[in-house]
Structure 1
Amino acid sequence: MSANNSHIKRLLATKQCQGGDLRDAHLTRVNLSGADLSGAKLMFANLNGTNLAGANLSGADLSFANLVATDLGNSDLSGIDGKGVNLLDAKLHHADLGGADLVFASLVNTHLEEANLSGASLEGANLIGAELTGANLSGANLAGTNLGHAQMIGANLSNADLSDARLVEADLSDANLSGVSLRNANLLNANLNGANLSGADLSGANLAQAKLEGAIGLYQEHGPGMRSPEPSPPPKQHANMSYVSFLNSSHSSHSSSNHFDLPRPGLPS
Structure 2
Amino acid sequence: MKASIISAMILLLGMASASAFERQDLQKLTETGSCGGCDLRGAKLQYKDLGDANLKGANMRDSILKQINLSQAKLMEADMRRSDLEKANLTAADLEYAILQDADMEKAVMTGVNLRRTDLRSADFDGAEMENVNFQDADIRKANFKRANLTNSNFSNAKVTEVNFKRANLVGAIMTKAELNDANFTRADLKNARLQETDLRHANFYRAHLTNTDLSGARLSNASFWGADLSGANLEGVSGLNQLQLDTACGDEKTVLPGNLSISECAP
Bin the TM-score by the shorter chain: 0.7 to 0.9
Aligned residues: 231
Determine the C-alpha separation between the residues in 2 that align with 1:48 and 1:159. Answer: 34
Aligned-pair Cα RMSD in Å: 1.3
Q: Which runs of 5 or more structure 1 residues have no equivalent in the other structure?
A: 233-269
**TM-score of the superposed pair, with normalisation by structure 2:** 0.84
Separation in structure 2 between the aligned mates of residue 221 and residue 90 of structure 1, nearest angstrom: 36
Cα separation, 2, equivalents of 1:88 and 1:134: 20
Q: Distance in 2 between matches of 1:65 and 1:146?
A: 20
Q: Which residue of 2 aligns with 1:86?
A: 104
Counterpart secondary structure, 1:7: helix
Q: What SS does structure 2 have at the residue aligned with 1:228?
A: helix
Aligned pairs (5 A) from 1:150-165: 150-165=168-183
The percent of aligned pairs where both chains have the same amino acid is 32
* Amino acid corresponding to residue 177 of structure 2 in structure 1: N
2:214 is matched with 196
* Structure 1 residue aligned with 2:139: 121
Alignment of 1:108-187 (within 5 A): 108-187=126-205
SS in structure 2 opposite 1:104? coil
Find out whether 1:97 has 2:115 as its counterpart.
yes
The Cα of 1:223 is off from its aligned counterpart by 3.4
Match of 2:12 in 1: none
Aligned to 1:34: 52
**Superposed CA offset, 1:182-204 (max 9, x none):** 10000010111101111101110
- Are the equivalent residues in 2 in contact too, given 1:193–1:211 (CA < 8 A)? yes
How far the C-alpha of 1:222 sits from its partner, in A, is 3.0
Q: Partners of 2:243 and 2:118 in 1: how far apart?
A: 31
Q: Distance in 2 between matches of 1:143 and 1:225?
A: 22
Distance 1:16 1:221, change over 3 A: closer
The structure that is helix-richer by fraction is 2
Q: Which runs of 4+ in 1 moved over 2 A?
A: 219-227, 229-232
Partner of 1:24: 42
Gaps of 5+ in 2: 1-18, 250-268
Cα gap change, 1:226/1:74 in structure 2, threshold over 3 Å: closer, same or farther?
farther
Question: What CA distance in whole angstroms lies between the structure 1 residues aligned with 2:237 and 2:135?
Answer: 28
2:216·2:236 contact (CA, 8 Å) conserved in 1?
no
| AA matched with 1:6 | Q
State the partner residue of 1:48. Answer: 66
Match of 2:248 among 219, 231, 239: 231
- CA shift for structure 1 position 12: 1.1
